[in-house]
Structure 1
Amino acid sequence: MSPLYGLQLIFNKYTISSILWLGLAFSAFAQKDSIILKQEISQLRTTWETYKSYAEYPQWGTDIQKVETLFGGTLRNNDAYLYENDVHRAKAAMYHSDPGLSMNASFLQNFTPSLNEDDDNLIYQRRLQAGLNWDVLGNGFFENRAQEQMELNSIRINEYLSSGESKEKSYSVNWNTIIYIFNKAKLEVLQQRRDLLNELSIEAERLHLSRYLSREDYIRVLSRKAEIEGLTRVYEDYNLQFGSGSDTLKIQAADLPLLDIRYASVFYGLDSSSRDSISNLYLENLQLQYRFMNDLRLSTFLRYNYYDLIVPGNRSFFSLGVNFSMPIPFRMNQRNELIEARAKESMYILSQKFEGKQKELLNECYEYRYKLKQYISFHQKFILYQELLRKMNATLRLDPLRFNPIEGLTLLDDMLAVKMELLDIRQSLYLKLLRIYTMSGRNKTEEIAQSFDIPNYFDLDAMTEKSVYIWSTVLAKKSVEFVAEYIRYNKFDKVVISLNRDEENTRKIRELITLIPEVDVHLMIGDNQFIQKNPAEELAFLLKNFTDSTIKGIHLDVEPHTFPDWDSKKESYLQSYQAMLLQTGNYCKEHHWELSVSVPLHYPEENMKSIFSLCDKVYFMAYENIKPEYIERKIAPYSALKDKIVVALRTKDFGTKSAMEKYMIDMYHKNNYDQFAIHDLGGLIEMDERNLR
Structure 2
Amino acid sequence: MKFRYNYYEYKNHSGQTYPSLGVTVSLPLNFNRGNKPLEYELAEQIETFEQEQSNLLRELKDRHRHFYFLKNDLSDLKNDLEYIKVLLNAEKMKSKQSKKEFSPITYIDLSKKFIQKKIEILDKQQELCEDFFQFYLKAGFLNEKNTPQEPKAVELSLANKKNDPNLSTYLWGHFFNQKTNRELLEIFIRTKISTVFFSPANSDLEKTADFIKQCNSTGIKVYRLISENSYALSDDGNKKLQNKLGTIENQGFSGIHLNIEPHTFSDYKRNQETYTKRMNNLFIETKRWCDVHNMALSVSIPMHTPIEEISVLKQAGIDAFIMAYENDDHSKLLDRTLNLRNVLGENTAWALRIKDFKSPHDIIRTKQLLHDHGIFNLAYYDCALLYKL
TM-score bracket, normalised by the shorter chain, equals 0.5 to 0.7
- Alpha-carbon contact 2:311-2:344 (below 8 Å) kept: no
Change (3 A) 1:44 1:640: same
Partner of 2:213: 514
1:647-668 C-alpha deviation (Å, 9 max, x unpaired): 0001111233343233212321
Partner of 1:547: 250
Change (3 A) 1:535 1:43: same
The match for 1:24 among 52, 59, 65 is 52
- Alpha-carbon contact 2:168-2:195 (below 8 Å) kept: yes
Pair 1:592 & 2:291 matched: no
Partner of 2:380: 678
Q: Name the SS for the 1:516 alignment partner.
A: helix
Partner of 1:206: none
The match for 2:265 among 543, 546, 563 is 563
Q: What does 1:418-567 align with in structure 2 at a 5 Å threshold?
A: 465-500=166-201, 502=202, 504-517=203-216, 518-531=219-232, 532=234, 533-541=236-244, 543-547=246-250, 550-567=252-269
Q: Name the SS for the 1:565 alignment partner.
A: coil
Q: What does 1:616-631 align with in structure 2 at a 5 Å threshold?
A: 616-631=318-333
Partner of 1:377: none
Change (3 A) 1:624 1:528: same
Pair 1:646 & 2:345 matched: no
1:100-155 C-alpha deviation (Å, 9 max, x unpaired): xxxxxxxxxxxxxxxxxxxxxxxxxxxxxxxxxxxxxxxxxxxxxxxxxxxxxxxx
Q: What does 1:135-146 align with in structure 2 at a 5 Å threshold?
A: none
Aligned partner letter, 2:223: H
Q: Name the SS for the 2:331 alignment partner.
A: helix
Change (3 A) 1:490 1:469: same
- Alpha-carbon contact 2:276-2:308 (below 8 Å) kept: no
Per residue, is there more helix in 1 or in 2? 1
Q: Name the SS for the 1:567 alignment partner.
A: coil
Q: What does 1:46-125 align with in structure 2 at a 5 Å threshold?
A: 46=142, 52=152
Report the alpha carbon displacement of residue 552 of structure 1 after superposing the two structures with TM: 1.9
- Alpha-carbon contact 1:597-1:615 (below 8 Å) kept: no
Instruction: State the percentage of identical aligned residues.
Output: 21
Q: Name the SS for the 2:325 alignment partner.
A: coil
Aligned partner letter, 1:558: I
Q: What does 1:658-677 align with in structure 2 at a 5 Å threshold?
A: 658-668=361-371, 670-677=372-379
- Alpha-carbon contact 2:310-2:344 (below 8 Å) kept: no
- Alpha-carbon contact 2:169-2:381 (below 8 Å) kept: yes
CA–CA distance in structure 2, aligned partners of residues 494 and 29 of structure 1: 31
Change (3 A) 1:49 1:574: same
- Alpha-carbon contact 1:468-1:680 (below 8 Å) kept: yes
CA–CA distance in structure 2, aligned partners of residues 639 and 524 of structure 1: 26
**Structure with higher RCO (Cα < 8 A, 6+ apart):** 1
Q: Name the SS for the 2:326 alignment partner.
A: coil
Report the alpha carbon displacement of residue 461 of structure 1 after superposing the two structures with TM: 5.6
1:613-635 C-alpha deviation (Å, 9 max, x unpaired): 23521010010123222222233
Report the alpha carbon displacement of residue 534 of structure 1 after superposing the two structures with TM: 3.9
Q: TM-score, normalization: structure 2?
A: 0.58
CA–CA distance in structure 2, aligned partners of residues 43 and 666 of structure 1: 41
CA–CA distance in structure 2, aligned partners of residues 18 and 529 of structure 1: 58
Aligned partner letter, 1:664: K
CA–CA distance in structure 1, aligned partners of residues 266 and 260 of structure 2: 15
Aligned partner letter, 1:685: Y
Aligned partner letter, 1:495: V
CA–CA distance in structure 1, aligned partners of residues 365 and 46 of structure 2: 27
1:370-422 C-alpha deviation (Å, 9 max, x unpaired): xxxxxxxxxxxxxxxxxxxxxxxxxxxxxxxxxxxxxxxxxxxxxxxxxxxxx
- Alpha-carbon contact 2:153-2:190 (below 8 Å) kept: no
1:458-485 C-alpha deviation (Å, 9 max, x unpaired): xx966x6100110111112112222122
Q: Name the SS for the 2:379 alignment partner.
A: strand
The match for 1:44 among 140, 150, 161 is 140
CA–CA distance in structure 1, aligned partners of residues 350 and 253 of structure 2: 22
Change (3 A) 1:614 1:39: closer
* Greater mean deviation of Cα atoms: 654-663 or 564-573: 654-663
- Alpha-carbon contact 1:472-1:505 (below 8 Å) kept: no
CA–CA distance in structure 2, aligned partners of residues 528 and 27 of structure 1: 48
Aligned partner letter, 2:52: L
- Alpha-carbon contact 1:496-1:524 (below 8 Å) kept: yes
Q: What does 1:142-221 align with in structure 2 at a 5 Å threshold?
A: none
1:46-93 C-alpha deviation (Å, 9 max, x unpaired): 459558379969xxxxxxxxxxxxxxxxxxxxxxxxxxxxxxxxxxxx
Report the alpha carbon displacement of residue 612 of structure 1 after superposing the two structures with TM: 2.4
- Alpha-carbon contact 1:596-1:615 (below 8 Å) kept: no
CA–CA distance in structure 1, aligned partners of residues 256 and 311 of structure 2: 20
Report the alpha carbon displacement of residue 684 of structure 1 after superposing the two structures with TM: 1.1
Aligned partner letter, 1:662: R
Report the alpha carbon displacement of residue 508 of structure 1 after superposing the two structures with TM: 3.2
CA–CA distance in structure 2, aligned partners of residues 490 and 20 of structure 1: 34
Aligned partner letter, 1:666: L
Change (3 A) 1:19 1:630: farther
CA–CA distance in structure 2, aligned partners of residues 612 and 592 of structure 1: 19
Q: Name the SS for the 1:655 alignment partner.
A: coil
Q: Name the SS for the 1:495 alignment partner.
A: strand
1:412-445 C-alpha deviation (Å, 9 max, x unpaired): xxxxxxxxxxxxxxxxxxxxxxxxxxxxxxxxxx
Change (3 A) 1:538 1:466: same
Aligned partner letter, 1:523: R
CA–CA distance in structure 2, aligned partners of residues 465 and 558 of structure 1: 22
Change (3 A) 1:538 1:667: closer
Q: What does 1:20-419 align with in structure 2 at a 5 Å threshold?
A: 21-26=49-54, 42=138, 44-46=140-142, 52=152
Q: Which runs of 5+ in 2 are unaligned?
A: 1-44, 64-133
Q: TM-score, normalization: structure 1?
A: 0.34
CA–CA distance in structure 1, aligned partners of residues 225 and 136 of structure 2: 43
Q: Name the SS for the 2:168 alignment partner.
A: strand
Partner of 1:633: 335
Change (3 A) 1:615 1:681: same
CA–CA distance in structure 1, aligned partners of residues 324 and 46 of structure 2: 37
Report the alpha carbon displacement of residue 680 of structure 1 after superposing the two structures with TM: 0.6
